[in-house]
Amino acid sequence: MGNSTGESGFLDIIKTTRLMLQQRNMNPWKTTFPTSTTSAAGKRIRWALLIEYIGSLLLLIGIAVVLVWVSLQQKRTILVESQQVQTTLARIAEADLVGTIRSSDHVLTELARLHADAQLVRRAQAPDFWQDFWRRLPESSFLFAVDAQGRIIAASESSLLEQMVDTREYFTGPRAYQDSLRVFISSPELVLGRERAIVLSRSVRDSRNAWRGIVAVVMPCSKIQQMMAQFRLSETQTVTLADETGALIARVPLPGDEGRSLAINANNSMFVLHQRSGLPFSFHEFESEIDGEEKIGAALTVNTNPIQTNQSLIIVVSERAEVVLGPWRRLMNVLWGYLIMGFIAIWFGVISYQRRRDNEGARALIEALLANPTLAVVGVRKNGSICLFNAAATVLTGYSEQEAMGQNWFELCIPPQGTSGLHELFNRVETSSVTPNEYENNIITRMGEIRVVAWRVSMIHDHKGWMAVGLGVDITEHRQREAELTTQAQIDVLTGVPNRRHFLDLATKALSQARRHGHQLSVLMLDIDHFKLVNDTYGHHAGDRVLKDFANKCSEMLREEDLLGRLGGEEFGVVLPETDGPAALIAAERIRQHFADSSTQLDTGARIQCTVSIGVATLGSPDVTCEGLLQQADHALYAAKHGGRNRVVLEGDAPP
């Protein structure tokens, strides 16, 4: 809505020029004086000229002030839009990173429990022991456990066994903490001679609080960089992840020196500016400490609550200042050029006392406004007829000036549902003392395409009366990018159903609504049986095909008001509003039978037939939360798995 730049300054100039033309009969500049004036008369004339010159200078200064104000407002609008985009990207990156940390915390918790009970070494010898952890944490490179002396006693790669890590930060750091629940995040380093990575480790203590060592997950910087790369909207954007000391973990694009610190420039470093702000989120113009370019970016301190960590991670999303402010700077050069032209035109009109100069100045300004290639200019009378239509408006709507002039703007380009709001805007603009007014609406082009346009509308009076002049900018792509970012944050890319976070939000709302209206509600937890065998036998591409096929089959069997989401891996969740236990069992059995009776065809022609185990839970206790209800369904799913798979179990029927 704020993309049209400088138009209020042009309108002020046009209004001022029109006022001068309308008052031409009373214009003191048109007065002629006889040559035989007396001395007193000459003094009066000189004083009159001096006052007129001072008035003209004050007018020019006022125009300059207006243009400066408009430019500052436009720059602020551009920075706010840039901040919104970069903040959204940083939030999405934070959600993905926090999800990885939480998955790591779950893995470390389970490994620490086995280590504390002295079961890890024995269990780790099973061939499939580490596969489950890798499935839940694909971002990791390898996992290992260390005893109290610093020797690796269990690892996802046997070549790591018996190596000593007693001097490494990820071992000495957790050993210093009494709190075994804290996740220790090390600085990036070359881990075990393999690759540059960060290590997430946790202290292990047994039931007598005796220290038994650590368990650790290795996160390669290269994989973190691949994760960060998906959050860039353009090649000129930079996404950076660092720890609170300034050590660089990952950056897209990758710098030449991966081990450098972001805190080396104490004056203009984005990292230092963010640390000085003391805020979890900050937005700055800064000089890049890596490539030396001027940039504009948002920094976000990652919130890992409720997981406790020894240090914070910082995400920085930035854009080159030339890309963000370049169009504004170029436009400002044009505006100042117009200002200089206005100074010359008005000054020349003052000293020439000629009406022709006034008319030429007004015409030049109007033509300049209409010729602006980035602003669609449309002038509409009160009856809706179009009286101004520039080339940019032709590009926007597809109608030529000859086709548009005299047509009714509301019937030509405005959808029926938007005419009432536009009429209200016209009435407000006509009676309001504030100008221009901002407005955003949809228009229909000549080809029937719907475009979103941001307008700034002002009222101008000419010899035919009042007309509303709107200066518009096409923001369709901007709104589409916003919608795409929202979709990326809520929808699972593979299956097209809500992801875990969005599904839990929708499930919580459905639970609240069921409680408020006193309705029944049931949830299903679904897990594809032996899915790991599909991946091992046919490959991950086949596994992805099975997941998508399963999501489609579930959607076919569910009602429009039911909610389906992917919780992770091959696990899905379903919320059934207004459904009691028996009805939920019938729905679950219908899904189980439909999936068991069908198969998934691969590109090679082979067909895969899988089954699904389902756990069912029904809203009973008025105090149960969404997480509690899902845990009940998960308990029933566990019983279905251990009862032979390919079955449906209702919570309460499951053995304790």
Mean pLDDT of 562-586: 92
Q: Whose CA is closest to 630, among 580, 547, 549, 571?
A: 571
Low-confidence winner among 190-199, 370-379, 591-600 (lowest mean pLDDT): 370-379
Q: How far apart are CA 226 and CA 250, in angstroms?
A: 9
Q: Is 564 helix (H, G, I), strand (E, B) or coil?
A: strand
Mean pLDDT of 158-181: 86
Q: How far apart are CA 93 and CA 239, in angstroms?
A: 9
Q: How far apart are CA 556 and CA 568, in angstroms?
A: 21
Q: What pLDDT was estimated at residue 586?
A: 92
Low-confidence winner among 17-21, 111-115, 294-298 (lowest mean pLDDT): 17-21
Give the residue, 82 or 291, on which the prediction is more confident.
82
Which pLDDT band holds residue 267 (cuts at 50, 70, 90)? Answer: low
Q: How far apart are CA 217 and CA 195, in angstroms?
A: 13
Two tokens, residue 271 = 């990292």
Which pLDDT band holds residue 431 (cuts at 50, 70, 90)? Answer: low
Which pLDDT band holds residue 615 (cuts at 50, 70, 90)? Answer: very high
Residues of the chain with CATH 3.30.450.20: 372-488
- Please report the DSSP string for 255-323 in residue order: PS-TT-BTTS-TTT-HHHHHHHHTSSEEEEEEE-TTT--EEEEEEEE---TTS-BSS-EEEEEEEEHHH
Q: Which of 88-97, 353-362, 470-479, 634-643 has the highest mean pLDDT?
A: 634-643
Q: Is the pLDDT of residue 576 over 90?
A: yes
Q: What pLDDT was estimated at residue 655?
A: 55
Query: Tens digits of per-residue pLDDT, 190-209?
Result: 888 888 899 999 999 888 88
Q: Is the pLDDT of residue 116 over 80?
A: yes
Q: Is the pLDDT of residue 23 over 50?
A: no
Two tokens, residue 283 = 């937005």
CA triplet 539, 543, 549: central angle to 5 degrees? Answer: 145
* Global confidence as pTM: 0.44
Q: Is the pLDDT of residue 17 over 60?
A: no
Low-confidence winner among 448-457, 486-495, 562-571 (lowest mean pLDDT): 486-495
Query: Tens digits of per-residue pLDDT, 295-311?
Result: 888 899 998 888 888 88
Q: Is the pLDDT of residue 258 over 60?
A: no
Question: In the CATH hierarchy, which fold is given to the domain comprising 372-488?
Answer: Beta-Lactamase (3.30.450)
Q: What pLDDT was estimated at residue 52?
A: 66
Q: Is the pLDDT of residue 169 over 60?
A: yes
Q: What pLDDT was estimated at residue 524?
A: 95
Helix spans in 285-415 (H): 321-352, 355-371, 391-397, 401-404, 409-413
Residues of the chain above pLDDT 70, percent: 81
Residues of the chain with CATH 3.30.70.270: 491-650
Mean pLDDT of 42-46: 51
Query: Tens digits of per-residue pLDDT, 220-255?
Result: 988 888 888 887 777 888 888 888 888 888 888 877
Q: What pLDDT was estimated at residue 364?
A: 54
Q: Is the pLDDT of residue 9 over 50?
A: no
Mean pLDDT of 623-645: 90
Q: Is the pLDDT of residue 356 over 80?
A: no
Q: How far apart are CA 201 and CA 215, in angstroms?
A: 6
Q: What pLDDT was estimated at residue 15?
A: 47
Average pLDDT, the chain: 80
Which pLDDT band holds residue 49 (cuts at 50, 70, 90)? Answer: low
Q: What pLDDT was estimated at residue 24?
A: 36
Looking at the DSSP bridge assignments, the partners of residue 241 are 250, 315
Q: How far apart are CA 520 and CA 313, in angstroms?
A: 43
Mean pLDDT of 28-54: 47
Helices (H) and strands (E) in the chain, counts: 19, 23
Helix spans in 374-499 (H): 391-397, 401-404, 409-413, 419-431, 476-490
Q: What pLDDT was estimated at residue 469?
A: 82
Q: What pLDDT was estimated at residue 206?
A: 85
Query: Which stretch of DSSP H or E encloses residue 654?
Result: none
- Whether CATH 3.40.1260.10 fits 491-650: no
